[in-house]
Amino acid sequence: MKSLLSFTKKELLEQLRSGKILLVGILFTVFGIMNPAIAKLTPWLLETLKDSLAESGMSVTEITVTAMDSWVQFFKNIPMGLIAFILIQCSIFTKEYSSGTLVLALTKGLPRVQVVVAKATVLMALWSVGYWLCFGITYAYNAYYWDNSIAQNLLFSTLCWWIFGGFIICLITLFSTCFRSTSGVLLGIGGTVFALYLLGLLPKVSRFVPTALTDGTSLIYGVKKSEDFLPALIITAAIGFFTLFVGASVFNKKRL
């Protein structure tokens, strides 16, 4: 137990000293500001383009921006935040394989499962801090300019997206224990998400696929109800824990 704590501490120190914590912080802050900013700037942008648009036969009617537009931006931009997060963190295991730094810790009797648990925990913590920071900033701006209450299921829809991020972290862990190279990890994640996306196109199973959790826009407009997300939530959590379990067992037998 003490060793788990100390390895987690080491991970955090590494994230801090390599500047990754700062990077993630800046990244999600920027995204958090961008969402309301884009919404706020849209009318102004249309206004300046009005003449040229009119020339091409489009008429611009007066539009009013609400918090809704900002939240739509949130769900549009957060995938990019997650992708950037993956790119920053995908080498969290593979770097240790290629440098051989795990050898000393493991030959000192550190249980292998604790390596997996510590790394997954630190990733999840970092993702959570970044994600909710982004959410908080957007929420605060929206409350200042407009009114957040017009978005339905706001907390639930953002919670679903956060859980989808957790699912991706489970995938990072799984593929990091299977592959030695960072490109292997990225290909594994990309391939899985793409396969899930294709699966989601089938009407019969779309409700059960983890990627369904990313459809926050339908939730805040009330097009879908929170109950509709329940199957995907349960299945995502189940697959997530299963991949962690498989990852830990693969890692137990991994040659370092």
Partner 1 sequence: MDMLHISDLHKRFGDREVLRGLNLSVPEHSIYGFIGKNGSGKTTTMKTVLGLLKGDSGKITVNGERVVYGQTATNRLIGYLPDVPEFYSFMTASEFLRFCGEITGMKRKESETRIEELLSLVGLGCEPHRIKGFSRGMKQRLGIAQALLNRPKLLICDEPTSALDPVGRKEILDILLAVREQTTVLFSTHVLSDVERICTDVAFLKDGVTDMQGRLSEIKTKYRGKDYRLETETDSELRLITQAFPHVTIGEGNRATFCESDYTVSDVLHFVADRGIGILKIERLEPTLEDLFMEVTGR
Q: Which residues bind partner 1 (CB under 8 A)?
A: 2-3, 5-7, 9-10, 13-14, 17-18, 99-101, 103-113, 252-256
Are 173 and 243 in contact, with CB atoms under 8 Å apart? yes
Which residue is listed with tokens 């996306």?
A: 197
- Tell me the C-alpha distance between 127 and 132, whole Å: 8
Taking CA atoms, 172 is separated from 5, 53, 63, 229, in Å, by 21, 45, 42, 24
- CB closer to partner 1, 30 vs 117: 117
- CB closer to partner 1, 108 vs 204: 108
- CB closer to partner 1, 61 vs 107: 107
- In the complex, the smallest distance separating the C-beta of residue 94 from partner 1, rounded to whole angstroms, is 14
- In the complex, the smallest distance separating the C-beta of residue 77 from partner 1, rounded to whole angstroms, is 32
- In the complex, the smallest distance separating the C-beta of residue 180 from partner 1, rounded to whole angstroms, is 15
- In the complex, the smallest distance separating the C-beta of residue 18 from partner 1, rounded to whole angstroms, is 7
Residue 64 corresponds to which tokens in the numbers above?
């009013």
Are 213 and 234 in contact, with CB atoms under 8 Å apart? no
**Would you mind telling me the total number of residues written for the chain in this entry?**
256
Angle, vertex CA 56, rays to CA 51 and CA 61, nearest 5:
55
- In the complex, the smallest distance separating the C-beta of residue 142 from partner 1, rounded to whole angstroms, is 39
- CB closer to partner 1, 46 vs 113: 113
- CB closer to partner 1, 11 vs 69: 11
DSSP for 166-235?
A: HHHHHHHHHHHHH-SSHHHHHHHHHHHHHHHHHHHTSTTTGGGSGGGGG-HHHHHTTSS-GGGGHHHHHH
- CA nearest to 33, candidates 159, 142, 191: 142
- In the complex, the smallest distance separating the C-beta of residue 85 from partner 1, rounded to whole angstroms, is 21
- CB closer to partner 1, 70 vs 89: 89
